[in-house]
Structure 1
C-alpha cells in the first residue's frame, strides 16, 4: 500500500461521546431512553435515517429526518468542542509520512467545517487532499464520494488502504477496488465490523500495520 485514505469522525477524531450525546438530545422529546456508547453501536447503521427508524420503531414521517438531522448537528457541534484527536492519531500520521507513504482524508461531514477543524489541529499538512460533504444529503453512503476522491488523487485504487470506523468505509473501499481496515473506536460495533471479513483493529497504529 502506498496511500492511506483516512476517515475523520470516529477514526482520527474521537467524537463518539459527542455523537451519542447529540443523538440522545434529539431523541429525548420522543421518550426514547438515553444510550451509552455500546447501546448506540448496537443500533447504529447507515444511512443514518435507517438507524433513526430502528430507534423509533417506525418509519420517519415526511420532513422528520431533516428536522432530526438539523437537531443532531446543532447538538453535535456544541458537544464536539469537548472532543479531540484519537490518542495515537498524530503519531500514526507522522509515522506513515516518515515511511514514505502518502495520505488523504475523506469524510461525510460538511467540507467547510472539516477543513477548518483539521487545520485547527495542525494536521492538514499531512494530507495531500481533504474532502468533506459539499452538496449530498447528510447521512448517506460514502461510495460515490470515494470514487470522486480517488479520481482527484490520481492514485491506483489497488495501492490504497481505507481506514475507517464503519461498515460504510469498507463498502466504499470495495466499491473502488481498494482495501479496508476498520477501527473499533467509532460508531459501529465490533460484531458488525468483523462480519465484513476485513481486518478489525483497536488502534490506528495497528491499522497502519496492514499497509
Structure 2
C-alpha cells in the first residue's frame, strides 16, 4: 500500500486567555470602565460566563442597552489604557513548552483578534516572537468571528499547509468554531476568558494546561493520519 505524503504539523496559538495569562487583567479593565457607562463591576465568573466578541456587544449585553459610538470610542480607549498598565504574563511553562516544540520540528504561529501592533509588541516583550513563524493580530474594527482571520493566517503561512495537520489552541468557543471552519483540530484551555461550561458546548477537547493541549492535539492528528493510511 502506498502511504500518502504528509505535510508538517503546526500549532496555531491564541493569545489572550491562552498563552497570555490575563483573565484578571481583562476583568480589571472592564470593571474600570463600566461605571462611567452606568454599569456595575462584574466578577471573574460573570465575565467568563458572558464574555462575547466583538467586545462592544459584551458591553451592550452587560448594560442592557446599546452604547453610542461616542461612548464606545471613549470606553475602548480607557479599557486599553488599563490593560497597558498591567504586565504581560505568559501562562506558566509556555516559553519552555514552545522551545521544546521547536526542537521537535513542530512549527508554531500565533493568531489573535487583538490589535495587530499591540499583539506584536506584547509577544516581543515576553521573548517568544522568535519562536513563531508568523504573528497575526486584527487590523481594522472588531469582528464577531475568528474564522476568516484563521483562514487568512493559514494561507499566509504558505501553500504547503494542510489544515488537517494544524492544531488550534484557544480558550473560547469561537476558537473551536474557527478551527472547524477551516478543517483544523481545536483544543480548548479551561483557564481563559470563557468558562468551562461554555467551552463544553463546542464539543472540542478541554484541557487544563498548555502542555496537555499540545499533546491532545498532536495525538488527534496522529490518530487521523493512521485512519487515512489504513
How does the TM-score come out when normalised to structure 1?
Answer: 0.91
**1:37-52, aligned counterparts within 5 Å?**
37-52=44-59
1:151 aligns with 2:158: no
Gaps of 5+ in 2: 1-7, 219-230
The count of aligned residue pairs is 208
Gaps of 5+ in 1: none
Post-superposition offset of 1:195: 0.6
CA distance in 2 between counterparts of 1:65 and 1:120 reads 28
Partner of 2:9 in structure 1?
A: 2
Is the contact between residue 96 and residue 208 of structure 1 (CA under 8 Å) also seen in structure 2? Answer: no
Partner of 2:23 in structure 1?
A: 16
CA distance in 2 between counterparts of 1:72 and 1:33 reads 15
Is the contact between residue 38 and residue 63 of structure 2 (CA under 8 Å) also seen in structure 1? Answer: no
CA distance in 1 between counterparts of 2:198 and 2:15 reads 19
Post-superposition offset of 1:31: 4.0
Post-superposition offset of 1:139: 5.2
RMSD over equivalenced CA pairs, Å: 1.6
Partner of 1:76 in structure 2?
A: 83
Is the contact between residue 92 and residue 208 of structure 1 (CA under 8 Å) also seen in structure 2? Answer: no
How does the TM-score come out when normalised to structure 2?
Answer: 0.84
Residue deviations 1:84-122 (CA, integer Å, cap 9, x gap): 100121122122222221110011112222222212222
Partner of 1:122 in structure 2?
A: 127
2:214 to 201, 208, 211: 208
Post-superposition offset of 1:146: 0.8
CA distance in 2 between counterparts of 1:42 and 1:124 reads 31
CA distance in 2 between counterparts of 1:203 and 1:44 reads 21
Partner of 1:174 in structure 2?
A: 180
Higher RCO (C-alpha 8 Å, min separation 6): 1
